[in-house]
Structure 1
Amino acid sequence: MLTDIISTHLKVIFCGINPGLKSSNDGHHFSGKSNRFWKVLHLSGFTPYEIEAVNDTSILDFGYGLTTAVARATSRADELSKEEFEGALEGFTNKMTEFQPQYIVFLGKAAYKAFSKKKEIQWGQQPEDFCRAKVWVLPNTSGLNRGFSLDHLVSYYKALYQTLHES
């Protein structure tokens, strides 16, 4: 089981689609060997060093949190049904309303498409807020997402980092 790493009024809550099997078994976010989340977070400026998955709670020290859109662990996010996203929406909305982050960053388009009911979503900042938080959608760092090189991922995440530090 993977628990949220979250507190009130964080700068960013990063929202994965759902836990991978390894992360769920380990109890640590993004612990799969091929997942590039911690490396990308560091290389794009969010953390001064690369956090190890076993130390995932230290992300709170930087004003960031972690959650997932759907709690059920799978080996691939495409194993989730439309109904699972629909069933998760109310709980997710309640959580974001309670914790009030400045930004919600969806990692991959699937969850935000399901939650917003939009058919087309662009990468980056979204035109509308969600639970009074600004929304960004960034490419998923899963090792299964080979459509994005490490450099491409870092450039997308760096754009968010720069936006956060302009305000």
Structure 2
Amino acid sequence: MLADIIDTDLNVIFCGINPGLKSAGDGHHFSGRSNRFWKVLHQSGFTPYEMEAANDTSILDFGYGLTTAVARATSRADELLKEEFDHSLEIFKTKITGFRPKYVAFFGKAAYKAFSKKKEVLWGQHPEDFCGARVWVLPNTSGLNRGFSLDDLVTSYREFYLAIQG
């Protein structure tokens, strides 16, 4: 199990779909060698330097937190069952309501689609709130996500970073 790194009133809680097996085993978010999260976070402007997974708790120093939609670790997110998202929804709602972030940024469309019950989900900002937090959907930084190059990811995350500065 991978522990959340969250606190009250953060600017953003970044929400992964679920932990990868390596991250769950290491006890650190985005520790898989091919995951580009820490590199993208830095290159898009969220952090002044590229953090390492071993220091993931220091993300709180920048006003950001980390959680997952579903707690069960898998090697691939597509191994999760619809019922696991359904079961996790109330836990996730309680978490977001209690911690009151300004934004929840979902990685990939799957978790937000499951939680919002929408059939179609677009990238970027959404007009509706989720338990009082603004919603943004970002491409997943997983190395398995070959549909987005590093430059594509940085561009998407930078757009989010610039939008929340105002």
**Corresponding position: 1:142 with 2:142:** yes
User: What is the aligned-residue RMSD (CA, Å)?
Assistant: 0.4
2:24 aligns to what? 24
Structure 2 partner of 1:51: 51
Deviations 1:68-106 (A, max 9, x none): 000000000000000000000000000000000000000
In structure 2, the residue matched to 1:85 is 85
d(CA) in 2 for partners of 1:112 and 1:23? 21
DSSP 3-state at the match of 1:32: coil
1-structure distance, mates of 2:89, 2:133: 15
Structure 2 partner of 1:94: 94
Where does residue 9 of structure 1 map in the other structure? Answer: 9
- TM-score relative to the length of structure 2: 0.99
Helix, strand or coil: the match of 2:127?
coil
Partner of 1:68: 68
Instruction: Name the CA distance, whole Å, in 2 between partners of 1:21 and 1:123.
Output: 26
Partner Cα distance (1:52, 1:36) in 2: 11
Cα distance in 2 for residues equivalent to 1:74 and 1:130: 26
Which residue number corresponds to residue 124 of structure 1? 124
Counterparts of 1:149 and 1:20 in 2: how far apart (Å)? 20
Percent identical among aligned pairs is: 76
Specify the SS of the correspondent of 1:92.
helix
Superposed displacement of residue 17, structure 1: 0.1
Distance 2:67 2:91 in 1: 12
SS in 2 for 1:128: strand
1:101-149 deviation per Cα after TM superposition (whole angstroms, max 9, x unaligned): 0000000000000000001111000110000100000000000000000
Aligned residues: 166
For residue 162 of structure 2, what is the aligned residue in structure 1?
162
Distance in 1, matches of 2:90 and 2:133, equals 16
Whole-angstrom CA distance in 2 between matches of 1:88 and 1:132: 18
Which stretches of structure 1, 4 residues or more, deviate above 3 A after TM superposition?
Answer: none
